[in-house]
Each structure stands twice: as structure tokens, then as C-alpha cells.
Amino acid sequence: MSLTRHLADPDSPVRVYFAHRFPGTRELKFAHTSERSDSITPRGTAVGVDVVRIFSPPAARILPANEALFPWSIAGMALDYRLRYEFEAADPSTFAAHAGWTHLVRLPMGERATDTGWEETVRALARLTNRMDPSGDDLAHPDELELARLCGLLSLYEQVYRMGGILNPRALDTPIWSIGLNAPLEDLLGLVDDRVPGDVAAMIALFRAEAPELRSSSRVVANPEFARSRDLGGADADIILDHLLLELKTIKTAKIGQSFAWQVLGYLLADTDDEYEISDVGWYYARQGYTWRFPTDEFLRRLAGTDVDLGEARAEFADVCASLRDGKTLVSGGSTTGREFGGFPREGREHPVFTAFPSPIRTVERRVRFYPTKEGRGRWHAPRSQVPWIEGYCDPIDMDVAACGTPIDIDIEREPAIPPIGIEQKEAEARFCRRCLLYTEMFYASRFDPDAKRELADLNYYPPIRGSGKWHLPAGTTGYFHFGIADDEPACHAFVTLDLSAEPLGIAKGGDIADADPRLCRRCLKTPPRVRPND
């Protein structure tokens, strides 16, 4: 099973490990910089402030003129190949496209059929790339388009490989398989959608303009595989530039979601022998000309919510990968029902990798009405009008849409269904939207008013163990689950260790946050009093 399939499978040990150990994918929307500012003087005291960057890509600058049935995945693979030639890292026999071609010419007893099409493709690539000026001058535009079309052809060969070749009957319907062996190069190039060459050439021009620091890399490894790649179905990343693991994305709207984050995390941890000495990870969004990157220590810290030793994380991941090998014989008939999957039980996983990161127990704490969709299909949702906490920042006309944000029409004229108070959310009926079920917690029971006066909760604060810095509230004392951090870590997710043996600083309930002791963390002070224990 490939890495992407592992990440899509909620029962995969890989996904379970990532979800428990590295849940903070939303934190990747922020990145530290080396800048500092000491010009902020709240209450007359100069305070040094870390400056962070926010993930803010521009709108797509490169899009096909006609998007109808545009081959997005082929264009993405073509850009990958074209970028290799930008760095002169281009031996076609090492490409995934070559592996696809071997499926086409495979004969019994390990022999290969004769095919002139691949040979002509390789010669055409060599002829074009030999025209590239070592000084860095670009190809003439007609040559650039020809090279981009050839890269599109390589993508069609790779398509066969990615589909599993002859083992997948659907691969027999791909354009490159259908045309057969020994087709003239002109006919092979005709298989490439005419919109792809211009699209790829434009993205390359944008890359040169917007990412000169990437283009100047001295060491280039295209499609690197890692020590644990075989355990993950041959997982290979896009490219490594010097010590930067970089994923190329050609999507219309740049995002940094869970799948993108865990995909890069999987590659980073799969390099268990540190062959590539990866020091940074990142993404390049080719249609936006936007680069987003992190040093590996910050990347892991943001995902885990605490400092992470890369070597230790790789050792944990190696155990997870070993379980995939050990558990293969337990899966039969494409089902894992009632059996162990990948060496871990489907229920009550007891591997030491997971026991340190227990799943939270979330219950239904208040009555919330759920309604079906007007289409009559799909999950039932809670409208925003059932979540007082949301009311403070939503337009009144939007009160009858799904609280979870799903763009679907709710039929509020129908008889609602109400999950019983006291049951665990995971035990609620399958028809209820799992994200809307979160709003059945008492945390959302009162209206959110951004202008309301914040009052203090009578909780104890502890100093950092290093002896300097703000005092924080341990997450476990708030009565509200903080996903991704332990009970003895700061409720505000600050990257500090608290000295719980020190005499705590208690505060009285009901005071104004503005008047609180300046030693106390302002974010911890905003912990809502109503979610304290015993409230």
C-alpha cells in the first residue's frame, strides 16, 4: 500500500501513528522568522516579540485557458520532469516513466519486446537538453514547448507505472498502452494534450522568477526513495535540493492541509538512515510561484506540539513500518474486520508507540438538534443556530447552514434528531456529522462575544522549569481537552516545560485579565472559566 493510501485509510497504523503523535497540522500555517521587534511596549514595558510568517499564497497565476477535462495530474508529473532538466538531473533510465515503459515491453522469462518509441523519446530529450546554455540562459520558446511536450509524454509512461502496469486491467486503457509499441515519436507526442506544453512552460518561467534560491541548488536528487520506502509501497518524494525535501504542487488553490503535511512527514521519517541529511522540508506551489518551508525541528515541533528528536521519531516510525511487514499475512480478501491490521488491533491499540498518545473521550453534553439535508442523502448536521458560541461572528442569515461548514442545504422543516446526553460521541448514530457532534460539548453552550469583558478563572499557574519566562496554566487543569498536548504542558501550546514542583501562583476568580499579574501568560488567562473541572 502506498503512503498516500495509508494516509487516506483511518485504520492504517501509519495514519493512526501520525494522528496521535503529530496532530497539529493546522500549526503549519505559521512559521517563525529570524526577525525580532522590541518596539511593542504594552503598559509601558518594552517586550521582544517573535515575528511569524503566515501561510498566504497568492491566487493561481498560471491556469489553462480552457479547464474542461484538463489533465491536471499529467501536467503535474510533466512539471516534475521538466524541473529535473532545469537542474540537469535527467537520466531517463532512472525515471518512473522508464519503469512504466518496462511494463509495456515485458515478455515471459524476463525478456523485453522491441520498441523504438522509448528510444526516440530519449534521443529527442538528449538533443533538446544539449542546447541548454550552461550559463543558465533559457531555451528558445519553441524548444521550451517541445521539451515540455516530451515531459508530458514521460508522464504518460509514468501513468502506466503508477497504475500498477499489467497487474491493473485499467492500465491497458491508458493512451500510451493503447497506441502500442514502435509508434513514431510524432504519434506519441500527439497523445499529449495540446494545453500541457504551454502550461508547463509557463510554470517553469514562474519558477525561475519567483524561486531563484531553489534554482541555485548544487545537489539535486529527483524522486528520492528512502530506507523505509519498500514498507510504504515504494514511496518516493518529488525532489531534494541540497538538504531541502521539497514537494511540488500544481493545484489551483494552494493549501497546507493534513494530507500534504503528513505526506512530507512520511518521507522525512522514512529516511531512517539519514541518507539525505534533510535539514528543511517544504512545498513549492507552481501555479502560484509560492514556497513554504520549515527547518525540520520546527516542522516536527509544530506538528507534535512539543520538541521532537528526529532520530527518536524515525525509530518510532521504523517500528510502525515493521508492523506493516509483520501484519501483511493478517489481511485477506481486502477486509480487516475482526482482525489485526498492520500488526495493531483495530480496537484498543496497545503498541507502545500509541500508549503515550491516548485518544480523548468526548461525550455529548447538551441537547443539539440535527437535521437532514434537503437532498435526502448524506449526514445530518447541526445548524449554526444550535451553537451559541458561533452566533457572535456569523451573519444572522447564515444561522441555518451546517455548523461544521459543509456547503450543503439543511432541511430545518423536518423533524430533528437529538443525540442522547452522556453518550460518547463515537457511539452516536452513524448518520450524525462527526464534526457537528463536537458542538454538543458544553464549551459551545454560551454565546461568543468578542467585545465581552474577559474574567479570570481561579486556576493555578506554574513557572517554566528553565527559571525565566511567563507562568502558564497546565492543560490538564482546565477541564477542556487540548488535542496534541499532555496534561502537564501549557494550555496555550507554548513550547516550554513547566516546573510543577514549584509553588503555584493562584488567582482569584472574576478579576479582569487586563489587571492580572504581568508574569502570567495572556493566552492561558483567556481559558474560559466555564470549562474548569467541577463547573
Q: Name the 3-class secondary structure at 410.
A: strand
Q: Where are the domains of the chain?
A: 71-192, 360-452, 454-535
pLDDT tens for each residue of 129-175? 876 654 455 788 899 999 999 999 999 999 998 888 877 778 888 99
The predicted pLDDT at position 48 comes to: 58
pLDDT, greater one: 338 or 432: 432
What's phi and psi for 464, nearest 5 deg? Answer: -65, 150
Rounded CA separation 370/412 (Å): 9
Inter-CA distances, 88 with 18, 81, 131, 153, 422, Å:
35, 11, 12, 18, 63
Grid cell locating 522 = 495572556
Give me the pLDDT at residue 64, please. 92
CB atoms within 10 A of CB 257: 11
What is the average per-residue pLDDT within 369-394? 83
Distance of CA 437 to the CA centre of its chain: 24
- Angstrom distance (rounded) from CA 198 to CA 403: 42
Give the contacts of 244 (CB within 8 A, at least 6 positions apart): 214, 217, 278, 279, 280, 281, 282, 293
| pTM for the full predicted model | 0.61
Q: What does the pLDDT read at residue 276? A: 93
CA 205 to mean position of chain CA atoms = 27
pLDDT at 354 over 70: no
Please list the helix, strand and coil fractions of the chain in percent, rounded to the nearest 5, in that order. 40, 15, 45
Q: How much of the chain exceeds pLDDT 90, in percent?
A: 44
Q: 242-280 pLDDT, tens per residue? A: 999 999 999 999 999 899 999 999 999 999 999 999 999
The bridge status of strand 244-249 relative to strand 280-285 is parallel
How far is Cα 208 from Cα 350, in angstroms, rounded to an integer?
Answer: 50
Helices (H), 305-423: 310-326, 352-355, 388-391
Closest by Cα among 198, 162, 291 to 239: 291
**Could you report the per-residue pLDDT of 26-64, keeping only the tens digit for each?**
999 998 876 555 555 656 666 555 678 899 999 999 999
Query: Which helix H or strand E contains 133, and what residues bound it?
Result: none
- In this predicted structure, the answer to whether residue 315 has a pLDDT above a threshold of 70 is yes
How far the first Cα of the chain sits from its last, in Å, is 47
Q: Hey, is 309 helix, strand or coil?
A: coil
Taking each continuous run of H as one helix and of E as one strand, the counts in the chain are: 17, 11
Per-residue model confidence (pLDDT) at position 353: 47
Give the DSSP letter of residue 91: -
Q: Please give the share of the chain, as a percent, with pLDDT higher than 70.
A: 80
Query: What is the per-residue pLDDT for 385?
Result: 87
Hey, what long-range contacts does 41-44 have (CB within 8 A, 24 or more apart)? 43/518
156 versus 362: which is more confidently predicted? 156
Q: Is 501's pLDDT higher than 60?
A: yes
**Gap between the Cα atoms of 428 and 416, Å rounded:** 15
- How confident is the model at residue 91, as a pLDDT? 80
**Least-confidence region, from 12-21, 180-189, 229-238:** 229-238
pLDDT of residue 235: 84
pLDDT of residue 23: 94
Contact yes or no for 79/203 (Cβ under 8 A): yes
How high is the mean pLDDT of the chain?
A: 82
Q: What is the mean pLDDT of residues 480-507?
A: 73
CA angle (44, 34, 30) in 5-degree steps: 90
Lowest mean pLDDT, pick from 85-94, 108-117, 166-175, 321-330: 321-330
pLDDT value for 11: 82
Query: CA-CA distance, 190 to 176, in Å (whole number)?
Result: 11
Average pLDDT over residues 375-395: 78
Average pLDDT value for residue range 228-238: 87
pLDDT tens per residue across span 195-226:
999 999 999 999 999 999 898 888 888 888 89
Amino acid occupying residue 302: R
Whether the per-residue pLDDT at 112 is higher than 90: the answer is no
Residue 455 has pLDDT above 80, yes or no: no
